Chain A
Amino acid sequence: MNPFCSIPVCDLLPQQPPFRFVDVLEDYTDGAARIRFTPDEGKNLLMEDGCLSAVGLMEHMAQCSAVRSGYVNRFVLNLPVKIGYIGQFRKLRFTRLPKAGETLETTVFLREQVNNISLVDAEVRIGGELIATASLKSALKED
């Protein structure tokens, strides 16, 4: 069994259903985290016409970044999980929106961190098809 799947994502970020847009942390290696999520019309907000909306897709990418930070703080640095805020999205591209029931596999790579600001690149795939990319910045709340 993948050891990452046994880590509840609710322990890594504060958002809860129906506003949680991540299901499982699948892997974390060298600053990159891979997260799985299957949008569900009955369980998630930000669904439109049977698809995860563009705003929902952005929130998903931001929550993937939060899961990465939460994992690093808790399991690499042995620190408490910190509250984070979306700072900025840049270079957001998507070719289509995910349909309800499709499983997203999203990888977030840490490009740089300065103090409490992280810059990550996100890639969202469905069955290997790259459907969205973005660079985003998030800020962790200082102690």
Chain B
Amino acid sequence: MNIDEIYEKVNEFLIEDLEIDESKISGDARLKEDLGIDSLEVVDVVVLVEEQFNFKMKPEDFKNLITLDDFCKFIEAQVA
């Protein structure tokens, strides 16, 4: 799976499941401050990643993920 496919799946999830306004979504959008992915949403993200990318994120994985780019690159590294 290449990085574009990862972005496509992640964006679809953010819009359809987390109901985030599409206009807010960009690579440099901050997960917490700009997209509103707080501790309550993290559980949804863990489910998404497991369903779509077949690995399980740990809560501590989120500590170094600041932007959407960080998140998608993290997934890319895990599924490579």
- Which residues in A have some Cβ–Cβ distance to B below 8 Å? 87-88, 90, 111-115, 117-119, 137, 139
Contacts and interface: CB of A to CB of B under 8 A. Distances in A.
Nearest to A119: B43
Interface of B: 17, 39-40, 42-44, 46-47, 50, 59
9 contacts: A88-B40, A112-B43, A113-B43, A114-B39, A114-B42, A114-B43, A114-B59, A118-B43, A119-B44
Contacts of B40: 87-88, 117, 137, 139
Contacts, number: 27
**Would you call the interface of chain B mostly helix, strand, loop, or mixed?**
helix
B48 to A, nearest CB: 10
A128 to B, nearest CB: 28
A118 B39 CA distance: 11
A71 to B, nearest CB: 20
